[in-house]
Structure formats: structure tokens, C-alpha cells
Amino acid sequence: MASHHIKKLVNHFLLVVLLSLIIYAFWSLDYSNLANMRLNDLANMVKGLANPDWTYVYDRSGEDLVYLMFETVSIAFYGTILGVILSIPFILLASDVVWGNWKWIPLIGRLVLNLLRSVPALIYAILFVRIVGPGAFAGALALGIQLIGMLGKLVSEELDRSDEVPVEAMRASGASAFQSFQYARIPQVIAMSASHVINHFEINVRSATTLGLVGAGGIGAPVIFALQQRNWGRVSIILLAIILVVICIDLLSTQIRQLMK
């Protein structure tokens, strides 16, 4: 009875803290810029966005929308493949079931993964632009390194949650630890791991659209230039292209997941 009362008090305390944070967040915002908002500017922006610049779609210049969107998707795809390959040793390093009683090794592995995924892709992009120079390769490296942290965490947790019964059955039949891991544990996480990879490819496509802001290739730079010039027609056609690509990738990934079931 006492533990239930304590739990109730803790829940009430957490609720009060949450409400206090929400109130403080709204109270501390600077609303003074609302006075500078002009309805004419808003109307011009809406009018420009409603009239996409179709001439920017394809002009054979190598800097048109088709080329840059293809480069953006390529950055996301390359970064995803790179992240999947490089994440494998980190997945094994961070999984408790791999190391048994050596609990300190997974702790180190999870710490490394936390550090890798805590840095935004845009920061990685700035670093790699300095290291390998501007371009799509820097963007792909940025997405790949951040993906190591995300996939490493998710897949290692899937390994730790896998059913022990098939593993123990194989060990009882004379299989080695490696064989039981390969044939009884890994098949349990393959489908979920593939789903995580597909989800993060979708996320990488959206992230890749912003990496061009720091010279890491893709559609990001033309977006910021168009916004600075208030070229709303070009902004509109770029946004339409991004939305269309994301929808197509989502439909494709849905079909892939259904085939995997």
C-alpha cells in the first residue's frame, strides 16, 4: 500500500514538472518578431509557392532539379549502405548476448554508439567537408557515420531480446556457440533489422536534402539560395520534388516489407 502511494506521488511530481516545462517553454519564447510580420509578404510567398518554377525541373545544366534530386537520393543510399556495413562490429560489441559475463564490453559499445548518434548529421557533414572536401561523398559519409549509432543501438537491442529457446536447443544438440548464434539467433533479428534499415533510408533521404547547406552535395544549397532570394517559385518546385521522392520511397519500402513477411 505504501509503495502504491509513493508511486502515485512520483507520478504527480513528474506531471507537475512536465507542465512546468511546457509553461516555461511557451513563456520564454520571444514573440516580438510577430510585430514585423506583414500580410503583403505572406500573400506574396503563398502566391509564389502556388506557382512552381517548372523550367527548373530539367535544363541539361547538371544543376537542375532532376540531377540534384538524383544526387540527393544517391547520397542517402550510399550513406545507408555504408552505415549498415560499418555498424555490424558495433552491433556485436554492444550486445549482451555476445559477451555473456563480460558485461563491461557491451557498456563500452553502447557508450560509443551513444556518442556516434548524439552528433547531428549536419555537424558530421561540416567535419567531412573539411576532411574530404565539398561534395556528395562528404554527405554520404556524414549520414553513414550517424547511422552506425542508430542501427547499432536498435539491432543490438533486438539481439538481446531474441528468444533463448532455439539457441538452447541447438546447444543441447551439440552445436557450438558460434553455430547457435549464426543459425538460431541471427535469423530472429534479420527481418526487424531490415525494417530498421529501410526506415533509416527514408530518414536519410530527408536528411540529405539539408546537407547541401554546408557543401555536402544534394538539393540543400539551391533551397537556401532560393529562400534567400525569395524565389518562391523555385522553392515550391523543390519542395514538391522532395515530397514526391519521399512518397515514392515510402511506397517502395512498404512493398519491400510486405515481401519480407
| The predicted structure's pLDDT at residue 252 | 83
Which residues are CB-neighbours of 253 under 8 A, at least 6 positions away?
Answer: 198, 199, 201, 202
| The predicted structure's pLDDT at residue 61 | 75
Please compute Rg for the chain using Cα positions. Answer: 24
- Whether residue 2 has pLDDT greater than 80: no
pLDDT band of residue 219 (cuts 50, 70, 90) is confident
- Whether residue 38 has pLDDT greater than 80: no
- CB contact at 8 A, 139 and 75: yes
Q: What CA–CA distance (Å, rounded) separates 58 from 70?
A: 12
pLDDT band of residue 209 (cuts 50, 70, 90) is confident
| The predicted structure's pLDDT at residue 135 | 84
Q: For the residues 210-223, what does the mean pLDDT come to?
A: 82
Over residues 101-124, the pLDDT tens digits come to: 888 898 999 999 999 988 888 899
Q: What CA–CA distance (Å, rounded) separates 140 from 160?
A: 30
CB neighbours of residue 242 within 10 Å: 19
Mean pLDDT of the chain: 85
Please name which of 242, 244, 230 lies closest in space to residue 48, comparing C-alpha atoms.
230
Best CATH choice for the domain 54-260 from the list 1.10.3720.10, 3.30.420.10, 3.90.1570.10, 3.40.50.300: 1.10.3720.10
| The predicted structure's pLDDT at residue 221 | 82
- Whether residue 56 has pLDDT greater than 90: no
Over residues 61-102, the pLDDT tens digits come to: 777 888 888 989 999 999 999 999 999 999 999 988 888 788
| The predicted structure's pLDDT at residue 3 | 67
- CB contact at 8 A, 220 and 212: yes
